[in-house]
């Protein structure tokens, strides 16, 4: 028996992945979700579909550092099977307005990167080998790919958390700022994953005999999810109802297709020692050139420790 935690698992990719994993009676599923009602509904649906009662929800709001800490505290109090897998899946995108969390940080950066960064760091003491950590990113992080999204703009993480201090954004539209914040957050996911993989190996916490691997998964273009919640009405209709009709196209995936791929990535025994890699679906490919910048990854890691309020006593990975 092993425990799997999936953030944002009440719908979209997270739910589709959970539906696949729930069929394995050796897995205890924890759905880490912001909305209690939706999370409990997802738990009941999954139990009915899989005939598996080893599923529960724990509230997690990645826009609140306190909520992330509360999630870890509640998880620690439960007598669950060993934690083996953490899937950092939840994500948001705001293109009509700039929003901030209760901690005063830009929401896209805070949810997509910083909340998951804190979550993983707090859960590392519970993670048992062989363990796997998977960050869900996006091909939109790579400017060499044609995605219709702007290139990421990685800079001082203080400015990513507090874009109101960035004078270069004053003449940009809310749409450009929001979409760039999203692609930048997806780059942060990869920089963070690669840096965590390096640090685990350097500190001897991930070895050939007792591996803890960290990889990145891109679901590809996957319409029909909640990611378009802040789109204008017409664009939202296209994303939610029209594009899903074309999921038979090679470059368009349904949540079910991508969820199946993510579940296979979680369970594939051949990947037991594979770490620091980027997967587009089930294909291992190179991520963007910038994502391999070790200095940027170190800068992001060190500043994220500060922004997340992690004390030295809490940090396992240094």
Give the residue numbers marked as catalytic. 182
Q: Are 9 and 18 in contact (CB under 8 A)?
A: yes
Biggest CA pair distance of the chain: 55
Q: Are 43 and 56 in contact (CB under 8 A)?
A: yes
Cα separation, 169 vs 167, whole angstroms: 5
Q: 214 CB contacts (<8 Å, ≥6 apart)?
A: 132, 133, 134, 135, 193, 194, 196, 197, 200, 275, 276
Alpha-carbon torsion (190, 58, 23, 252), positive or negative: negative
Q: Are 227 and 93 in contact (CB under 8 A)?
A: yes
With b for 16 or more beta-carbon neighbours within 10 A and e for fewer, the 66-92 pattern comes to: ebbbebbeebeeeebeebbbbbbbbbb
Coil, strand or helix: which one is 56?
Answer: strand
Cα separation, 104 vs 297, whole angstroms: 23
Closest listed residue to residue 194, CA positions, set 137, 269, 272, 263: 137
Q: Measuring CA to CA, how many Å separate 137 from each of 5, 19, 55, 69, 282?
A: 17, 20, 25, 23, 14
Give start and end residues of each alpha helix (H) in the chain: 12-21, 36-50, 65-77, 107-109, 116-123, 157-161, 174-202, 233-237, 255-267, 294-307
């Amino acid at each position: 028996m092993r425990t799997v935690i999936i953030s944002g698992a009440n719908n979209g990719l997270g739910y589709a992945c959970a539906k696949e994993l729930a069929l394995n009676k050796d897995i205890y599923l924890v759905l880490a979700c912001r909305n209690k009602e939706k999370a409990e509904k997802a738990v009941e649906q999954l139990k009915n579909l899989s005939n598996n009662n080893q599923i529960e929800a724990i509230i997690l709001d990645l826009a609140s550092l306190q909520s992330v800490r509360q999630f870890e505290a509640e998880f620690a109090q439960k007598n669950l099977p060993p934690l083996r897998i953490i899937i950092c899946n939840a994500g948001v995108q705001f293109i009509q307005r700039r929003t901030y969390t209760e901690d005063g940080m830009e929401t896209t950066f805070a949810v997509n990167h910083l909340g998951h960064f804190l979550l993983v760091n707090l859960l590392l003491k519970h993670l048992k080998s062989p363990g796997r950590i998977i960050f869900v990113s996006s091909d939109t992080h790579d400017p060499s790919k044609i995605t219709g999204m702007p290139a990421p703009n990685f800079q001082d993480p203080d400015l990513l958390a507090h874009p109101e201090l960035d004078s270069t954004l004053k003449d940009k539209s809310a749409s450009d700022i929001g979409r760039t914040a999203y692609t930048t957050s997806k780059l942060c996911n990869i920089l963070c994953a690669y840096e965590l993989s390096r640090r685990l190996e350097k500190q001897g916490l991930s070895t050939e005999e007792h591996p803890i691997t960290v990889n990145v998964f891109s679901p590809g273009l996957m319409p029909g999810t909640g990611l378009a919640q802040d789109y204008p009405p017409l664009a939202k209709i296209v994303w939610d109802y029209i594009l899903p009709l074309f999921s038979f196209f090679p470059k368009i995936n349904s949540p079910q297709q991508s969820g199946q791929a993510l579940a296979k990535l979680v369970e594939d025994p051949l990947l037991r020692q594979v770490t620091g890699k980027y997967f587009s679906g089930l294909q291992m490919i190179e991520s963007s050139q910038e994502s391999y910048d070790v200095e940027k990854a170190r800068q992001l890691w060190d500043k994220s420790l500060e922004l997340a309020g992690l004390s030295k006593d809490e940090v396992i990975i240094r």
